[in-house]
Structure 1
Amino acid sequence: MNIKELNKYLQSLPEEILSDAADIVAETATEYYQSTFKNKAFDGNPWAPAKVPKKTGSLLIDSGALMNSIRPAVITPQRVVISAGNEKVDYVRAHNEGFAGAVHVPAHTRKTKEKEVFVKAHTRNAHIPRREFMGDSKELNEQIHDRIAGYIDSLNQE
């Protein structure tokens, strides 16, 4: 099911169900987007593997800040917006869309085991492969449709 079909379905729902449907959409989308980190895939497409596999943890998860920043920003019967990132997680777009280019590294002090080392400001080239975890997804649209249909069936059984 594509997004246009899902929108058509949602618009056909009665007014009294729309507010509950908005909550179902927000909850389902948030769960789906967060689950992409565990599955290491989005909409059935696996992520590019790491150049050097991690010994512990998971790809794109060090502290969990990126995954935990995914949350509903707007929930109304007409619109649901799921957002990711905050002031501590400003790298969301680079991971979701990929990035290749120069990155400015400011001057800083690096701590080693023996001493602190001053590092001059410099530029380095970065290549971050696309590992999409948010966006339009047929899998998500199907999950939303199935959950809303189940909710409507439960109302009809009462």
Structure 2
Amino acid sequence: MNLRELEAYLSSLPGKVMGDTAEIVAETATEYFKETFRKKAFNGNPWAPAKTAKRRGSLLIDSGAMLNSIRPLVITPHRVVIAAGNQKVTYARTHNEGYDGEVQVPAHTRRTKKGSTSVKAHTRMAHIIQRQFMGDSEELNDRIKGRVVDYIKNLTNE
């Protein structure tokens, strides 16, 4: 049974089952994305190592804000959206998808030993390697399918 057949089967079931199924999908996806973040690999592909290794800790985990920002955004019987990032974590998409391009550096004051100097606004080239932790995944689809099938089996056995 593929995902389309499973979706067609689930749509024939009552509304409560569809709502519960959406909750199962959201919970499973959130757990999976947080797990891939901790494993430093997505869909079996490990992340590229950093140019200079950190002394301690994980590659993308400094404060834990990005990991903790992974959450279900929309849960309806026909749609589940998992999001990462918020007002404080604006960089989640950049790390997940990677980035090559110019970055604006605003004007600022640089402190030195002899005082301070003004730095004009300018651009800088940035190359941020993709370290994906969210997206479409066969492993995730298999987990969701397994949990939904188990849920339906439990309903039919009661």
Q: For the superposition of Structure 1 and Structure 2, which TM-score range results when normalised by the shorter chain?
A: 0.7 to 0.9
Find the counterpart in structure 2 of residue 139 from structure 1: 139
Instruction: Report 1:26-105 matches (<5 A).
Output: 26-105=26-105
Other structure's SS at 2:26 match: helix
User: What is the root-mean-square deviation of aligned Cα atoms in Å?
Assistant: 2.1
Aligned-pair CA distance for 1:119: 5.6
Instruction: Report 1:1-16 matches (<5 A).
Output: 5-13=2-10, 14-15=13-14, 16=16
CA distance in 2, matches of 1:32, 1:63: 20
- 1:23 paired with 2:23, answer yes
The residue type paired with residue 83 of structure 1 is: A
CA distance in 2, matches of 1:100, 1:145: 36
CA distance in 2, matches of 1:99, 1:32: 24
CA gap 1:110/1:152 in 2 versus in 1, 3 angstroms: farther
Other structure's SS at 1:61 match: coil
CA gap 1:150/1:48 in 2 versus in 1, 3 angstroms: same
CA distance in 2, matches of 1:115, 1:39: 46
CA distance in 1, matches of 2:20, 2:115: 56
Aligned-pair CA distance for 1:90: 1.0
CA distance in 2, matches of 1:151, 1:94: 36
Q: Which structure's relative contact order is higher, taking Cα pairs within 8 Å and 6+ residues apart?
A: 1
CA gap 1:21/1:89 in 2 versus in 1, 3 angstroms: same
Q: Deviations over 1:45-70 (max 9, x none)?
A: 11111111111111111111111111
Aligned-pair CA distance for 1:107: 2.5
- TM-score, normalising length: structure 1: 0.87
Other structure's SS at 2:127 match: strand
- TM-score, normalising length: structure 2: 0.87
Identity rate, percent = 60
CA gap 1:111/1:79 in 2 versus in 1, 3 angstroms: farther
Aligned-pair CA distance for 1:118: 4.9
CA distance in 2, matches of 1:39, 1:115: 46
Aligned residue pair count? 154
CA gap 1:156/1:111 in 2 versus in 1, 3 angstroms: farther
